[in-house]
A = this chain, B = another copy of it.
Amino acid sequence: MDVQLTLTGILDRAVDLFSDREIVTKRPDGSVHRYTYADAYARTCQLAHALDDLGVSEGGRVATVAVNHFRHLELYFAPPCSGRSIHMCNMRLPDAHFQYIVNDAEDEVLFVDPAFIEKVEANADAFETVERFVVLADEVPETSLDAVAYEDLIEGRPTEYDWPDLDEDAECGMCYTSGTTGKPKGVAYTHRGVYLHSLMCGHVDANGVSESDVVLPVVPMFHANGWGLPYAATLVGAKQVLPGVHTDPGSVAELIDEEAVTLSAAVPTIWLEMADYLDEHPEVDISNIDRLTVGGSAPPESLIRKYDERYDAPIIQGWGMTETTPLGTLSTLRTELRDRPKEEQYRYRAMAGLPVPGVEVRIRAEGEDEDVPRDGESMGELQVRGPWVVGEYHNRPEATRSGFTEDGFLRTGDIATMDEMGYVDVKDRTKDVIKSGGEWISSVELENELMAHEAVAEATVVAVDHEKWQERPLACVVLREGHDASEAALRDHLADRFPSWWLPDVVEFVDEIPRTSTGKFDKRTLRERYGDVVLEEGDV
């Protein structure tokens, strides 16, 4: 029974049983690249030979700076299966962080999309360990980098590779947290962790990725293993659809239509905007969709309702982090809830949900040894442990000490509640929750309710200082085109659901809300922007 759980096993199964299934990529020029798992396997073997020739060391890391496409998928397997590791870089990081992660990971070769060559050129001098650059294209565009084209690199090499026997605890990949405060932290995944995560992703009580699915990860492949979808889809031999740079809601909708996609995953914004696109393009048909997974931030209930009613496309929320590979919880409906009224179901489906099989979850108040009551109201920090939850940060003993409990749970920094059925509801980030007069106000709940207002396109809520109450909420609202709403109207809207002391003292109408490198609302920037606002009693 000492068979090791490795990515080689995932790859082998796909090519053994589903060699003729398709992997479809939308190229930058809008044309479509199609090939099969058999083709992908042959090229993955060629790439592994190329890594040998490039002299990538045993256990050494290769970096990718790339969107979702077939070459990136080949890189998901060739380095780890040949005994190395893939480090997927987020190209939206600021330069200083980009340099830091490449050096911290000691990346030996860097694979880059033509679109991001400038970003790499601008930082290449600061890279201490990168010995070669590979451009993920047929040929190398004009560049100052000493680079080879991916196709030239692999061309003519053998299409079989004698994969080594690997220890399942060996590192297979690495991502960095985007860290809105401080330096990004490196998270190293093991073959075992990713294998188990992939197996779990196919579980009925998780998101049930199956050989009958057509999977479209809109979430970038550099973002927590593309939420594990490329690996889970390969394990089962599902058809994969990779959108490349075409992740705008219109392109995604059309790709879903053209390729008969059944499962797609993205941050809520994509599905929010895609709904508008579908309203304007009734000819686009997304009826093959069986479920849409969202993560990164919670979807408003109104969005779940809209997709249910209009497209019969259930939105399932997942919660996870880079540290959790990432799937930790999923808002599937327990049997007990399936005959409840729709409105009640939407309330559960908008939560982070139930721990997936394999993951342990608990909610603890700071400094306490007992879990908070499972009453759906008591807040505390969400802490998780499981075979695909990492136990440390790379090269960062201090961050590891503060980031994990003594008994091995990850301190997520999320403030959450749990109810008697085990549903986790994330209320806020520890650093975003608004501490008003000794009580906590959830910025996330206020945001969701604001976004449920028909005039609101986007909304975020941050803490500003208050002379008496320490902190009070300030809302930034982007109105929907052609709609209007007054500050009083929005406050009235919130008053239906929240106690009066939760209502934002100030509502700022803005054209745009700044976002982080992973597309989340950038609350740090907003807090800085409104940092000199100090409210006094009677200001509102």
Residues of A that sit less than 8 Å from B by CB: 1-3, 5, 9, 12-13, 16-17, 169, 190, 192-193, 196, 199-200, 202-205, 208-212, 235-236, 334-335, 338, 354-355, 357-358, 360, 385-391, 408, 421-422
Contacts and interface: CB of A to CB of B under 8 A. Distances in A.
27 contacts: A1-B190, A3-B386, A3-B387, A9-B358, A13-B360, A16-B360, A16-B422, A17-B354, A17-B422, A199-B203, A199-B357, A199-B358, A202-B203, A202-B204, A202-B205, A202-B357, A203-B203, A203-B204, A204-B204, A204-B208, A204-B209, A204-B236, A205-B210, A208-B208, A211-B335, A212-B334, A212-B338
Given A17-B354, A357-B235, A1 B391 contact: yes
A424 to B, nearest CB: 11
A12 B422 CA distance: 13
A20 B250 CA distance: 46
B357 A205 contact: no
A387 B1 contact: yes
A9 B358 CA distance: 8
Given A203-B204, A235-B357, 15 more contacts: A1-B388, A2-B391, A3-B408, A5-B387, A16-B422, A199-B199, A199-B200, A199-B203, A202-B203, A202-B205, A204-B204, A204-B209, A208-B208, A212-B335, A236-B357
B235 A360 contact: no
A44 to B, nearest CB: 19
A170 to B, nearest CB: 12
Report copies per complex.
2
Contacts of A210: 204-205
Contacts of A389: 1, 3
Most buried by B among A13, A199, A235, A408: A199
A422 to B, nearest CB: 4
A241 to B, nearest CB: 15
Contacts of A211: 205, 334-335
Contacts of A355: 13, 17
A259 to B, nearest CB: 14
A360 B3 CA distance: 10
A401 to B, nearest CB: 17
A422 B17 CA distance: 6
Contacts of A204: 202-204, 208-210, 236
A193 B354 contact: no
A213 to B, nearest CB: 9
Given A199-B200, A360-B12, A205 B236 contact: yes
Nearest to A17: B422
Contacts of A208: 204, 208
A211 B208 CA distance: 13
Given A193-B1, A387-B1, A391-B2, A357 B203 contact: no
A200 B196 CA distance: 10
Contacts of A360: 9, 12-13, 16
A385 B16 CA distance: 14
Contacts of A196: 199
A1 B199 contact: no
Contacts of A386: 3
A358 B6 CA distance: 10
Contacts of A388: 1
A355 B237 CA distance: 12
A30 B408 CA distance: 47
Contacts of A192: 1
Contacts of A199: 196, 199-200, 203, 357-358
Contacts of A209: 204
A391 B2 CA distance: 8
Nearest to A202: B203
B1 A390 contact: yes
A13 B236 CA distance: 25
The 4 closest A-B pairs by CB, nearest first: A204-B210, A17-B422, A202-B203, A204-B208
A199 to B, nearest CB: 6
A199 B205 CA distance: 10
Nearest to A362: B16
Contacts of A385: 3
